[in-house]
Structure 1
């Protein structure tokens, strides 16, 4: 049967002639993009660049302007958390978010924490304000800052600052050790 199919194919293709050229060009030599190509180009230009910032701008549970923010991951020692809460650690870096909109605050907090972690800075102070008069709801920036801090893997704990550091308008942040600090710590304890 295969031979019959092949013979039939050859009979059907007998009057087919080879094209002289496979390249199609415009008569005037200029190539104009098709409508589909123009649409794809426009969509690519409008598409936002990849954003490594994973902090969400979706709705968060709002906190009151005078609410104490308190968060710690499992495994953080109570003594360490207590010292953070009481402001006993030296603050090595401060971020001022006051007056920023949510988009700018999100970017600033993400970059600030990433930079501090990479440089080995462990204790931070973030000024977000109390937001008593913020519209449409009070304490919007404070609420988002608190939610964002809990989303960042490098953040071990955070707590509302003591009065001397800003009270309800600021938050202490404790970061985990970076890779280099962990290695040094391992090396130090192996030698003992």
Structure 2
């Protein structure tokens, strides 16, 4: 007579001995949860995927001497306007002080400040970036990056190192474009009739 499946199974398992209790490992719920390091890596990866509207470059910059004067003018800016900016003849409507701020914080603060000033129709600002005499690992790192960042921003028409009474080569006057709203207002005001 042929053996049933159950009888075959029992016959083949006849010499099997159960495991001792000390050899049995049970996994607790805590072992399935991600570790703190895994959670931090996951959070960092998610933050990388978020869109950052701040387009200011963090890559290589030509280092300046701490005493160098900053000077930049986009084409189309009248020489007289730039001369008045350079000589500090325009009223400074807002000031941003970046002295002592960490690099990332300074980058973020500058970007947000310029965007906000442009929206509020502020035309001339004073940017205090410092000379960077004691900055590490190289002198004038923040000043060098401010020189680069201001050139990258479409809202900026011109900038120049400030007069000594406003910080000298440790600060800069910055001229911003008019907002679209202010341009329309100007056109209406000066329209030929």
Q: TM-score, normalised to structure 2's length?
A: 0.75
Deviation for aligned residue 1:46: 5.3
Change in Cα spacing, 1:95 to 1:182, as seen in structure 2 (3 Å) is same
What SS class does the counterpart of residue 75 from structure 1 fall into? coil
What SS class does the counterpart of residue 145 from structure 1 fall into? helix
Change in Cα spacing, 1:161 to 1:44, as seen in structure 2 (3 Å) is closer
Q: Aligned partners of 1:43 and 1:170: how far apart in 2?
A: 35
What SS class does the counterpart of residue 190 from structure 1 fall into? coil
List alignment gaps of at least 5 residues for structure 1.
1-40
Deviation for aligned residue 1:42: 7.4
Residues 57-103 of structure 1, C-alpha deviations (whole Å, 9 max, x = no match) = 10111111000100000000000000000000000000000011111
Deviation for aligned residue 1:45: 3.3
**What corresponds to 1:142 in structure 2?**
143
**Equivalent runs, 1:60-75 vs 2, <5 Å:** 60-75=61-76
Q: Aligned partners of 2:77 and 2:103: how far apart in 1?
A: 29
What SS class does the counterpart of residue 171 from structure 1 fall into? strand
**What corresponds to 2:160 in structure 1?**
159
**Equivalent runs, 1:153-192 vs 2, <5 Å:** 153-192=154-193
**What corresponds to 1:119 in structure 2?**
120
What value does the CA root-mean-square deviation take over the aligned residues? 1.5
What SS class does the counterpart of residue 173 from structure 2 fall into? strand
User: Does 2:59 match 1:58?
Assistant: yes
Q: Aligned partners of 1:82 and 1:46: how far apart in 2?
A: 44
Q: Which protein has the larger Cα radius of gyration, Structure 1 or Structure 2?
A: 2
Change in Cα spacing, 1:44 to 1:191, as seen in structure 2 (3 Å) is same
What SS class does the counterpart of residue 56 from structure 1 fall into? coil
Q: TM-score, normalised to structure 1's length?
A: 0.76
Q: Aligned partners of 1:158 and 1:46: how far apart in 2?
A: 33
What SS class does the counterpart of residue 190 from structure 2 fall into? helix
Q: How many residues align?
A: 152
